[in-house]
Each structure stands twice: as structure tokens, then as C-alpha cells.
Amino acid sequence: MEHIWMPDVPVWEKILRSGVIYLFILIAFRFTGKRQVGQLTPFDLVVLLILSNVVQNAVIGNDNSLGGGILGAVTILVLNWMVVEISYRFKPARRLLEGQPALLIHNGKILQENLKNERITLEDLQAALRRSGVGDAHQVRYAVLEENGQISVIPKA
């Protein structure tokens, strides 16, 4: 019964494995776009599921104990708490971790280069405009892709 609680790998290794994978995934998601969870496509969901399965062995190593799993989970939760605190307290860290807003429409003109850089399709932009009660880009003063993945629309007066 003791084997179920005791990790099969050293505690420092379990913490290191969990931390490295957390940081890798954080960086990977930071550079792959700004979609919100509610905006995930079926393709995005499949990628997340496969990714979680792929990195599972890197996190647990040869350890299937409850204690090791709890230690890995606690490590990831603590690291996440630290990242949230750092991004809350330090604006430069927040910009690095969360990115910056991107202007998509300026005075009725769609900024195609910014759409391309942010991987936003014209259809996605038009859907965001409709959700904001705007029928056409010419009616928009600004449309901004926020750090959290939402598109804010400010109509012309």
C-alpha cells in the first residue's frame, strides 16, 4: 500500500519534469495565438487532447503513484499561480506572457496585415462585428484583438 503514495522517481525530478513541461506549454500557447477556450475549433480541441497525451509521459516519467501525480499537479498549480502573480504585478511580464492588443480595423479600414499576423480570418472578424451589432467594417472606428482573444469593436459615432 505504501507504493501507491510514494513516487517512483526522486521528488526533485518530478518537480523538474512538471515545471519544464508547464513552461514549454505556456510558451507554445503564447506563440500560437490568442483564441479563447470558447473559440476553440474542433481542430484546436484535437490538438489539445493529443498534446496532453504526448507530454503525459514526460511529466510522470516511470512513476504512476498517487503521490507522484499529486506532486506533479501541485507543481503545475504553484507555477501557474506564480505566473499569474508575476503578470498581475509587473506590466512588462504581462506583455511578454499575454501579448499585446492588435488593431484589426482602424476608421473603417480592415488592416489585412494585422489579420494575417494574428491568424484571424475575415469571416471571424465579420462574425465579431455582427456579435457587436455592427453590419459592416465601414461602421467601425476601431476593432481590436485583445490579449484574451476577444475582439472589441468600437463603432463610429
Q: What is the CATH number of the domain that holds 143?
A: 3.30.240.20
pTM score of the predicted model: 0.68
Label residue 38 by pLDDT band (50, 70, 90).
low
For 131, the domain range is: 102-155
Asked if residue 83 and residue 11 are part of one domain, the reply reads yes
Separation of alpha carbons 30 and 144, rounded Å: 18
pLDDT beyond 80 at 4: no
Residue type at 67?
G
Please state the rounded mean pLDDT for residues 50-76: 83
pLDDT beyond 90 at 89: yes
Asked if residue 94 and residue 74 are part of one domain, the reply reads yes
Domain boundary residue, one of 63, 81, 98? 98
Q: What's the pLDDT at 37?
A: 54
Q: At what angle do helices 11-30 and 91-98 cross, to 10 degrees?
A: 80
Q: What's the pLDDT at 98?
A: 78
Q: What's the pLDDT at 1?
A: 61
Rg, Å, the chain Cα set: 21
Residue in 100, 103, 93, 105 with CA at minimum distance from that of residue 138:
105
Give alpha helix (H) positions in the chain: 11-30, 42-60, 66-89, 91-98, 112-118, 122-131
Asked if residue 31 and residue 74 are part of one domain, the reply reads yes
